[in-house]
Amino acid sequence: MHVDDDVSIQEITKLMLQDLNSGFEIDNACCVDEAFKELATKQYDIVVSDYEMPKKDGLEFLKELRAQNNRVPFILFTGKGREEVAIKALNLGADGYYNKQGNPETVYGEIAHGIIQITEKERAKQALQESEEKYKALFEQAGDYTLILEAQSTGLPTIFDANISALQIHGYTREEIVGKLITFLVEDKESRNDIIIDQLDKLLNNEKLTFETKHRRKDGSTIDVEVAIKKVKVGSKNLLVSVEHDITEHKKTEEALRQERDKLESLTANIAAGLVVISKDYKILCVNNYLKRLTGASEGNPCYSSFNTCASICPDCGPKKIFEGASIDRREYCIQTEFRKDHPVWLELIATPIKDKDGNVVAALELTVNITEKKEAEKKQSESSDRIRMMNEKLRVVGSLSRHDVGNKLMAAKSYVYLLKKQLGDNPDLVKYLDNIDSALASSGRILEFSRFYEKIGVEKPSNEDVFDCFNQAVGLMPNLGNVEFVNECKGLVVTADSLLKQLFYNFIDNSLTHGEKVNQIRLHYTKDGNGLKLFYEDNGIGVRETNKPKLFEAGFTTGGGSGLGLFLVKKMIDVYGWSITEEGEPSKGVRFVITIPKVNQKT
């Protein structure tokens, strides 16, 4: 912001500065009061102010700014070249003082350079301050406790600082701990001295160390700690950042589980079942040889990645239920790991708690029985039942159509022929009867055609089918399309299906033309997401009533003018492909069939 009571100076200053640097954005104020109004509503990188102005001069302006704790960078830009004014300005906190007198190119070049230098310095200062505040917040609020040690020229390092967590767990204040040797906190000081000196040498050579040790609290009690420490150079100081975690309870648990593990090893050495002990942080503490051979699992690794391919706790985890309070959990589980990726193993798992002497659950014990052969037999039986069920349904539908629907249509054709014979002559109804005969015979043909296609469902081996081409072929099979516009936005989309895919689209189109009444546009398009894709078939006809949607894909359902088999056939094909279909259009606005295709069934 530029503050000057002379409008001509405001204008020329803005022109000159923006000519020198097009990145300058300049607001003007004609007096100090107006400048304060602007500062109240907008944040500025720097203020450039004249010295002599009505009511309040530039020094008064600066003095008020600093009194309000406003630290915005400030430059005094004046025609008065008095040294005492410059000194006062700098003493009040001005960041620069420039004289208006002289060659314009030189004057404005200097102030432009000064603006850039001062604003960049201020930004760097703010960034440093923010960084320091973030560091302080992270340091003080860290869940694990943190000690900052200072390496001395000789001897042991001293405690340079400690966060709140570190002070609380040890029971000291910052004043009591800072400046003390690190052995002030270490249990068994004498035996640790040589170890600490050796560790210090490694740290000063930029090694990062992780180890376990014991610390002594102010009250005399001890804690087991896991330490991760590395060197950080700050100026001339070699500081050691030590992030430490209390593992006292963990060490107690390990000892209890070691005793359990010794018992289990002797009990499970030769039994044909798996046993595993899992800690509360889901690490494998003990696993018998049977389960090791079966899965490749080993102690110390996460159970969810050793027995499966999960990155976190498995769904329906038995040990998790035990840790949440269950007394027992039974379930079946499929192990699929890199160790056995070609041969998944099914296990029956029984999880129970392991408790310490006080009754607290410290781990979970799982007994595992291999039921892979049983599951494979069940799968084969299920697949066989599904095939038989589908064959029976085909026979039932085709037989029903042959006995009933085809018979009805042929009877209608014979009746129309009979009427035609009685009306031979110049009777104008003759054409109508002939048309009805054609319609009845055509309906019979469609039902027989349905039977033929239905028998093919699931017979062909799945192959890659081009959705764009199949839809266009279906359109080409339709006679008398009139003024219907077809929009096909599926170019390049390939899915796993069979040659009946074009019949699926044909049935959609036939349904639109037969029942849509006012259809003049049909559109096919798709969207993709991480799980697969959705294929959309839409028209702009009268749509489907909400009451009809639950029955839409049932065999024989029709609103008139059709066989009631077209969408039934569509649903059966989609089931065989492993897809799913819903109708999500709005009544009176057209149909919208949504076909969901899993990722494994599409190739784009």
The secondary structure of 46-76 as a DSSP string is -EEE-S--SSS-HHHHHHHHHHTT----EEE
369: enclosing H helix or E strand: strand 361-370
- Domain ranges in the chain? 2-137, 142-246, 250-369, 376-444, 458-601
Q: Residue 531 burial by CB count (10 A; 0-12/13-18/19+): exposed, middle or buried? A: exposed
Rounded Cα–Cα distance for residues 446 and 448 (Å): 5
Rounded Cα–Cα distance for residues 210 and 205 (Å): 15
Mean pLDDT within 182-199: 79
Task: Please name the fold of domain 2-137.
Answer: Rossmann fold (3.40.50)
Backbone angles phi, psi at 599, to 5 degrees: -60, -35
Q: Considering Cα of 199, then 202, then 206, then 212, what sign does the dihedral take?
A: negative
* Three-class SS state of 189: helix
CATH number of 458-601: 3.30.565.10
Mean pLDDT within 445-462: 60
525: enclosing H helix or E strand: strand 521-529
The secondary structure of 447-506 as a DSSP string is HHHHHHHHHHTTTSPPEEEEHHHHHHHHHHT-S--TT-EEEE--TT-EEEE-TTHHHHHH
Mean pLDDT within 89-104: 86
pLDDT at 413: 58
119: enclosing H helix or E strand: helix 104-141
Cβ atoms of 537 and 508 closer than 8 Å: yes
| Beta-carbon contacts of residue 319 (< 8 Å; ≥ 6 apart) | 278, 282, 303, 351, 364, 366
Flag whether pLDDT at 164 surpasses 50.
Answer: yes
Please check whether the two domains, 142-246 and 250-369, share a CATH topology.
yes
| Beta-carbon contacts of residue 393 (< 8 Å; ≥ 6 apart) | none
Flag whether pLDDT at 403 surpasses 50.
Answer: no
Rounded Cα–Cα distance for residues 98 and 88 (Å): 14
Sheet of 96-99, strand order: 28-29, 2-3, 47-49, 74-78, 96-99
Mean pLDDT within 594-604: 77
CATH number of 142-246: 3.30.450.20
Who wins on pLDDT, 23 or 357? 23
* Three-class SS state of 130: helix
Half-sphere exposure for 370 (CA within 13 Å, toward CB): 14
Query: What digits encode the pLDDT tens for the residues 232-279?
Result: 888 788 888 888 888 888 888 777 767 766 666 666 655 567 888 899
Query: What digits encode the pLDDT tens for the residues 492-518?
Result: 999 999 888 988 898 899 889 988 889
> pLDDT band for position 32 (50/70/90)?
very high
349: enclosing H helix or E strand: strand 345-355
Rounded Cα–Cα distance for residues 359 and 342 (Å): 42
> pLDDT band for position 546 (50/70/90)?
very high
**Antiparallel, parallel or unpaired: β 494-497 and 274-279:** unpaired
pLDDT at 393: 66
> pLDDT band for position 2 (50/70/90)?
very high
Ranked by mean pLDDT, which of 118-122, 247-251, 579-583 comes out on top?
A: 579-583
Rounded Cα–Cα distance for residues 182 and 195 (Å): 12
Flag whether pLDDT at 445 surpasses 70.
Answer: no
Closest listed residue to residue 272, CA positions, set 367, 372, 345: 367
> pLDDT band for position 425 (50/70/90)?
low
Query: What digits encode the pLDDT tens for the residues 290-349?
Result: 888 877 888 889 988 888 778 889 888 899 999 999 999 988 877 665 445 566 778 788
The answer, as to whether pTM is greater than 0.85, is no
CATH number of 250-369: 3.30.450.20
Phi-psi region of 353 (alpha: psi -120 to 50; beta: other; left: phi over 0): beta
Average pLDDT, the chain: 81
Query: What digits encode the pLDDT tens for the residues 42-81?
Result: 999 999 999 888 889 989 999 999 999 898 999 988 876 6
Backbone angles phi, psi at 111, to 5 degrees: -70, -35
The answer to which of 294-308, 516-530, 579-593 has the lowest mean pLDDT is 294-308
> pLDDT band for position 404 (50/70/90)?
very low
Rounded Cα–Cα distance for residues 521 and 481 (Å): 11
**Antiparallel, parallel or unpaired: β 74-78 and 96-99:** parallel
Rounded Cα–Cα distance for residues 280 and 278 (Å): 7
pLDDT at 436: 57
Query: What digits encode the pLDDT tens for the residues 354-392?
Result: 888 888 999 998 888 878 888 888 788 777 667 756 765
